[in-house]
Chain A
Amino acid sequence: MEAGPVNGRRGAGPWLLLLPAALVMLIAFALPVGMLLARAFTHPEPGLQNFILLWERPVYLHVLVNTVMIAAAATPVTLILAYPVAHAMAHGSPRTRRLLTFLVLIPFWTSLLVRSFATVILLQRRGPLNTLLVNIGVIDAPLPLIYNLTGVLLGAVQTLLPFVIFPLYSSMRRIDPTLMPAALTMGASPVRAFLRVYLPLSLPGLMTGATLVFISMLGYFVIPALLGGPRQTMVGQLIQDQVGQLGSWGVAGALSFVLLAVTAGLLGLLHRLVGLKAVAR
């Protein structure tokens, strides 16, 4: 890294270009988030009582554990579905790639709320999915697909898929496609060749995708509110209740603190494992 301008003409210019964005982020992002987190230690009175409350009240602890469990359940499902799609995009024909990219980009550009609402309709007791399953004779009576864990997972995985498919695809594209045939000619079975050659090479993309899925899911709010039941309450909903209805800034701050600490910890871990460049893409 060169310190300072290399050729004299670049002086304060770059700093001035950076300043407005940095100021907006400092004043309208870092400061407000800091204020919320500070409330954890100051509201209603200085001390750690909000954190003690989180630990002692079963409701809070239950929701925190629940949030981690739901995110932990959604992550592998998303990865398993995303992997073959990314693989087909990376090594399939150009036509396959174009079609799949288009299919993945559609939900990427459509708002989370619209997609969640669409899933609400799809999964109703007498909704299209249940009707279809009953009509083709897979099931006798409509399944409870919504306002429970199934609903949350079906909704969440759908919204999370693009966030895994794209990083996976970009890491798979860099894998030499002749490696697999080479392993096969050397006598490895397809499964063994995949496990020993391909999977390890795609691991950075897989880990990046897994982390992104897990941390975005931890902060989910719309999906559990629309597709889950009371037992699927997640920490985001709890924060909204504390701020919006109850005005308990302290508890909201403490919950946010825990959520952010877990997020930062996971990102730090990912950084150590695969490097920040892969994370920032």
Chain B
Amino acid sequence: MGRWRLLRALVCALVGIYLVAPLVVVLIISFSSASFLRFPPPGYSLRWYENLVRDPAWMDAVWVSIQILVPTALLSTALGTAAALALIRGRLPGAGFVGAALMAPLVVPSIITSAGLYIAYRGLGLNGTLAGMVIGHVVVTLPCVIATVGSALRSLDPRLEAAAATLGATPAAAFRRITLPLLAPAVLSSMLFAAVLSFDELIVSLFVGSARLRTVPVQMWSNIRGDFDPTVAAIASLCFLVALIALALEALLRRRNGDRE
């Protein structure tokens, strides 16, 4: 078995490097002093980060992204949590089918959803508006919230509520005092997930946005497709950093959830 174990370790190492190496390279290049993407860089500087902060196009894009991300995360979490509660605790006939139907945006290619939204928005004048963007982002993020909160609800023991009821709590009180606190970490982590997904979303924003309403990924997209300099590497590194922070926060929430179970 020794040979096989060695082979397994080798593939794991290879895959680990393959998954992380590109991001590390971008991180290093973002600190380059040269205006070309040579690796390793001839020297190190913060000029591309300065460039980023000074360029109004990038700062506008960050602001647009935040304006979309905040309402998207809030709306998506509220709608998704309510739907997950109904689907798992509601004892609705046909809940399985409805639940599967709500997951559809995960398997329908994003390009189809986006092209559809663009066509539907044309008649309504919603293309190039913040509202149109938020609606599109909610559609893309909602399934993830329903899945995250749903799986947490499924692992929650329903007897806890029953026990609270036996002890004299009304259903509303049992929900507020028992279910909700136990569910809170999952709800928060789904909100985080929705925010990250919205911040990363490219294709919906590409179709529904406009030259004046550009998110960070759209701005990156148009830069990468032209002649790009390490400024893109700087913003990509910041996005990577945001992802790492989100990952750490999520792990923290998960740990808290685990402690309580």
The answer on a CB contact under 8 Å between A158 and B18 is: yes
Nearest Cβ on chain A to B29's Cβ, whole angstroms: 6
Instruction: Specify which of B39, B86, B119 is in contact with A14 (CB 8 Å cutoff).
Output: B86
Question: Are the C-beta atoms of A20 and B135 separated by less than 8 Å?
Answer: no
Q: Is the interface of A mostly helix, strand, loop or mixed?
A: helix
CA distance A257 to B131 in the complex (A): 28
A24 pairs with B200, CB closer than 8 A: no
B82 to chain A, nearest CB (A): 4
Within 8 A of B (CB), among A31-61: 31-36, 39
Interface size bracket, B side? 35 or more
Residue from A14, A103, A109, A122 within 8 A of B16 (CB atoms): A103
Q: Is the CB of B19 within 8 A of A106?
A: yes
Q: A6-B91, A33-B108, A219-B111 are in contact. Are A111 and B8 (CB under 8 A)?
A: no
Q: Which of A138-146, A171-179, A199-207, A259-267 contacts B (4 or more CB under 8 A)?
A: A259-267
Size range of the chain A interface in the assembly: 35 or more
Chain A 204-240, CB-CB to B under 8 Å as 1, else 0, gives 0000000000011011011001100000000010011
Most buried by B among A32, A34, A119, A216: A32
Query: Does A104 reach chain B (CB closer than 8 Å)?
Result: yes
- In the complex, are the beta carbons of A121 and B220 less than 8 A apart? no
Contact status B138-A28, CB under 8 Å: yes
Query: Considering the chains assembled together, what is the distance between the CA atoms of A215 and B107 in angstroms?
Result: 8
* A binding-site residues for B, Cβ under 8 Å: 1-6, 9-10, 13-15, 17-18, 20-22, 24-25, 28-36, 39, 81-82, 84-85, 87-88, 96, 99-100, 103-107, 109-115, 117-122, 124, 126-128, 131, 158, 161, 190, 215-216, 218-219, 221-222, 225-226, 236, 239-240, 243-244, 249, 252, 256, 259-260, 263, 267, 276, 280
